[in-house]
Amino acid sequence: MTDAAPVVARGLVKRYGDIVAVAGVDLTVEPGDIFGYLGPNGAGKTTSLRMMLGLIRPTQGRVQLFGRDPMVDGVKALQSVAGFVEGPRFYPYLSGRRNLRLLADYDEPSSRSRIEEVLETVELRDRAKDHVGGYSHGMRQRLGIAAALLRQPRLLLLDEPATGLDPAGMRDMRDLVRRLAGDGITILLSSHLMYEVEELCNRVAIIRNGSIVYEGMLRELLATATAGYRLRSREPERARTVCLTQPGIENVSLDGDELRFSADEDSVAALSIALGQARVPITQLMAETASLEDLFLGLTGGDSSDHDREAVAS
Amino acid sequence: MTAVARVYRWELVKLLAQKRTYLGLGAAMLVPVIFVVVLQLQSGGPNDVPLGRYIRDSGIVTPLVVLLFMSIWGFPLITALVAGDIVASETNNATLKTILPRSRERGQVFAGKALAAFTYTLVIVVSMGVVGVVAGSIAWGFHSFTSLSGTPVSAGRGLGLMFASLGVYVLPLAGIAAFGLLLSTVTRNSAASVVGTLMFALFMQLIGVLPGTESIRPYLLGTQFDAWHGFLRTPADWTPVVRAIWLSAIYIFVPLFAAYVVFLRRDVAGE
């Protein structure tokens, strides 16, 4: 079981009456991934995560966490898994430490001994004796991470952990996620914050209207967005001539002293050598890349029309 | 400590940390005190209820007479306050999604909650009994009193019978708690569960006073609140007591099992 992938979802569907919240999600999270699960609000991210944590029953399909299905194996499937959906929630009338003690007693007995350590990790030790009702949003998010770490998870499912945090809080959260990943924890992170995903994740899945529209390495996704190249030269006309004679260099156009063309990486490499051999002075050669945000908007249709569907789910 | 015992312990901790727990418990303890004070300020008494005319004989009679007055809606309301809230509040606060993905099975979580709700039911009745005896004894002394059959009952034996009566009285109240748990699990709404549970209790009482229901009256939940009268007769009449035990068991286990099944299968979605 231990060599099974942390998350394998196949044909995951969740319907609420006529409303389809998740329309067939397939995704695989590999060990060591910081996996970004991207989608507009209401696209089905949270519903998928709820199914992964065994909180809701899939209408069709299945999820396996390290080879175990929460619907078949119950909480045993979640043995090495922790996380939260839609923001962590605690008993407001109990202190942060008492909440963790409660949750430790809902886990294995050894969890209790880690309470002070995890409070230290999320820098909440000073406020641990205060009622959670008086905590800020950021403190609750951090307590949520602490509660997850009590279980010494190998897989952490985090649903928009930085949402609602101030810039410093967001940075701290990103640092924490990076640190946890460095400790060998696989992380599935749902988000609609592109820069967060771009900064943290190695792999991504993009969900739209309840279905996955892309799953793969983030850098491969970004590579597909290389729209073209720009070249500046002291002698643009000669540069253009060289471009036109080089194989693989297409759609060449000259705009002032700047050339634009499309090509693959190998052709660009060959072009740079050819320009050098022709003694054409180059001042700039750069790829025009679209941002993850551009790609995301392209893949998701750039709308937020998914809003109402998942609202039904919640 | 077993998994259920751990959940149960934390359910008690949560109850002890919430105001509504003390609101109900305080009310249960205050009623006998108010009852005694009012009777001290006037010469009359509740002569039209069983044991009412002997209220000033001994403090032991106080909680027994209070039981009669609290059966209609007092104890059902206090029971509903906790039993109707114990699952629904976790749905409203969205804390179910925090505890369910941990290492306790849903069945264990539910068992801990049900045990806590029943414990609260027992505690409010026993607390009322203890406070009633103390308040009544301060006012009228701790003496022997007259049973429902007109025979004298010594103070020591009377105290034992009083606690046995409370024990039997708790059974139908646990039936109401079980119904509260079912509503709490199904409706996911605290207020609706509390009000619904109280309405159920009142409805059960109402059926019992409708004409033409004489044949089913012994089997109604409301009737079981009077089963303890059997202990206060000489010789003791076990028929209503035994009926209260098995009938209450049905009234407890049917809604409890339904709530258990719903809790095991329900989707935990939304805030």
> How far apart (Å, rounded) are the C-alpha atoms in residues A202 and A219?
7
| Cis amide leading into B235 (omega within 30) | yes
- Is the Cβ pair A103, B6 closer than 8 Å? no
Whether residue A214 is found in the same domain as residue A230: no
Q: Are B193 and B88 in contact (CB under 8 A)?
A: yes
Residue carrying structure tokens 């030269």: A233
pLDDT of residue B271: 47
* Closest by Cβ to A90, choosing from B17, B98, B103: B98
pLDDT of residue B269: 80
Task: Please report which confidence band the pLDDT of residue A43 belongs to, taking 50, 70 and 90 as the band edges.
Answer: confident
Instruction: Using the Cα atoms of residue B244, residue B247, residue B250 and residue B252 in order, give the sign of their dihedral.
Output: negative
Q: Which residues of A touch B95 (CB under 8 A)?
A: 89-91
* Closest by Cβ to A89, choosing from B14, B94, B265: B94
Sheet containing A19-29, strands listed edge to edge, beginning at the edge strand earlier in sequence: A19-29, A7-16, A60-64
* pLDDT at residue A126 tops 70: yes
Task: Please report which confidence band the pLDDT of residue B198 belongs to, taking 50, 70 and 90 as the band edges.
Answer: very high
pLDDT of residue B1: 67
Task: Please report which confidence band the pLDDT of residue A312 belongs to, taking 50, 70 and 90 as the band edges.
Answer: very low
Average pLDDT of B111-123?
A: 97
Decide if B46 is inside a domain: yes
Decide if B174 is inside a domain: yes
* pLDDT at residue A314 tops 50: no
Put simply, whether B95 touches A (Cβ < 8 Å) is yes
Decide if B42 is inside a domain: yes
Strand B152-153 to B145-146 pairing: antiparallel
φ, ψ dihedrals at A189, nearest 5°:
-120, 115
- Is the Cβ pair B95, A74 closer than 8 Å? no
> How far apart (Å, rounded) are the C-alpha atoms in residues A217 and A247?
29
The counts of H helices and E strands in chain A are: 12, 13
pLDDT of residue B134: 97
What DSSP string describes B88-134?
HHHHHTT-HHHHTTSSS-HHHHHHHHHHHHHHHHHHHHHHHHHHHHH
Put simply, whether B270 touches A (Cβ < 8 Å) is yes
> How far apart (Å, rounded) are the C-alpha atoms in residues A5 and A154?
11
pLDDT of residue A87: 86
Instruction: Name the residue range of residue A244's domain.
Output: 226-289
Instruction: Name the residue range of residue B131's domain.
Output: 3-264
Which pLDDT tens digit goes with each residue over B22-39?
999 999 999 999 999 999
The average confidence (pLDDT) of chain A is: 88
The larger pLDDT score, comparing residue B256 to residue A288, is at B256
Q: How far is A253 from chain B (nearest CA, A)?
A: 54
Q: Are A75 and B102 in contact (CB under 8 A)?
A: yes
pLDDT of residue A226: 63
Whether residue A12 is found in the same domain as residue A76: yes
Whether residue A217 is found in the same domain as residue A243: no
The larger pLDDT score, comparing residue A222 to residue A241, is at A241
Q: Which residues of B touch A98 (CB under 8 A)?
A: 13
Q: Are B192 and B180 in contact (CB under 8 A)?
A: no
How much is the pTM?
0.85
Which pLDDT tens digit goes with each residue over A143-163?
999 999 999 999 999 998 888
Radius of gyration (C-alpha) of chain B in whole angstroms: 20
Looking at mean pLDDT, say which of A117-126, A132-141, A304-313, B247-256 comes out highest.
Answer: B247-256
How many distinct structural domains can be found in chain B?
Answer: 1
Whether residue A193 is found in the same domain as residue A275: no
Whether residue A182 is found in the same domain as residue A271: no
* pLDDT at residue A1 tops 70: no
> How far apart (Å, rounded) are the C-alpha atoms in residues A82 and A49?
11
* Closest by Cβ to B105, choosing from A75, A91, A314: A75
Which pLDDT tens digit goes with each residue over B217-244?
899 999 999 999 999 998 889 999 999 9
Looking at mean pLDDT, say which of A168-172, A253-257, B79-83 comes out highest.
Answer: B79-83
Decide if B194 is inside a domain: yes
> How far apart (Å, rounded) are the C-alpha atoms in residues B212 and B266?
40
* pLDDT at residue A195 tops 90: no
Least-confidence region, from A22-26, A70-74, A289-293: A289-293
* Closest by Cβ to A89, choosing from B9, B14, B98: B98
Task: Please report which confidence band the pLDDT of residue A202 belongs to, taking 50, 70 and 90 as the band edges.
Answer: very high
Least-confidence region, from A113-122, A226-235, B112-121, B126-135: A226-235
Q: How far is A149 from chain B (nearest CA, A)?
A: 12
* Closest by Cβ to B101, choosing from A47, A53, A98: A53
> How far apart (Å, rounded) are the C-alpha atoms in residues A150 and A107?
9
Which pLDDT tens digit goes with each residue over B149-168?
989 999 999 999 999 999 99
Q: Which residues of B touch A54 (CB under 8 A)?
A: 100-101
CATH code of residue A175: 3.40.50.300
Task: Please report which confidence band the pLDDT of residue B262 belongs to, taking 50, 70 and 90 as the band edges.
Answer: very high
Longest dimension (CA), chain A: 76
pLDDT of residue A303: 52
Decide if A23 is inside a domain: yes
* pLDDT at residue A306 tops 60: no
* pLDDT at residue A311 tops 60: no
- Residue from B6, B13, B162, B176 nearest B83 by CA: B176
Put simply, whether B2 touches A (Cβ < 8 Å) is no
Instruction: Using the Cα atoms of residue A194, residue A196, residue A201 and residue A207 in order, give the sign of their dihedral.
Output: negative
Decide if B205 is inside a domain: yes
- Residue from B94, B103, B91, B85 nearest B7 by CA: B103
Q: How far is B11 from chain A (nearest CA, A)?
A: 10
* pLDDT at residue A299 tops 50: yes
Q: Which residues of B touch A90 (CB under 8 A)?
A: 95, 98
Which pLDDT tens digit goes with each residue over B56-103?
999 999 999 999 889 888 999 999 999 999 999 999 999 999 999 999
- Is the Cβ pair B269, A74 closer than 8 Å? no
Decide if A133 is inside a domain: no
Helix (H, G, I), strand (E, B) or coil at B232: helix
pLDDT of residue A227: 62
Whether residue A280 is found in the same domain as residue A199: no
Decide if B217 is inside a domain: yes
* Closest by Cβ to A57, choosing from B10, B103, B267: B267
Put simply, whether A90 touches B (Cβ < 8 Å) is yes
> Is the ipTM beyond the 0.90 threshold?
no
Q: Are B29 and B127 in contact (CB under 8 A)?
A: yes
Q: Which residues of A touch B94 (CB under 8 A)?
A: 86, 89
Decide if B271 is inside a domain: no
- Return the bridge partners of A289, or none: A226
Whether residue A167 is found in the same domain as residue A75: yes
How many distinct structural domains can be found in chain A?
Answer: 2
Average pLDDT of B130-150?
A: 94
Whether residue A282 is found in the same domain as residue A302: no
Put simply, whether A242 touches B (Cβ < 8 Å) is no
CATH code of residue A272: 3.30.70.100
Pick among B14, B97, B109 to test the A interface (most A CBs inside 10 A): B97
Count of CB atoms situated within 10 Å of the CB of B126: 16
pLDDT of residue A165: 83
Q: Which residues of A touch B10 (CB under 8 A)?
A: 102, 105-106
Pick among A52, A98, A106 to test the B interface (most B CBs inside 10 A): A106
Decide if B35 is inside a domain: yes
Longest dimension (CA), chain B: 61
pLDDT of residue A127: 94
How large a percentage of chain B has pLDDT more than 70? 99
* Closest by Cβ to B269, choosing from A56, A92, A107: A56
Decide if A142 is inside a domain: no
Average pLDDT of A120-135?
A: 94
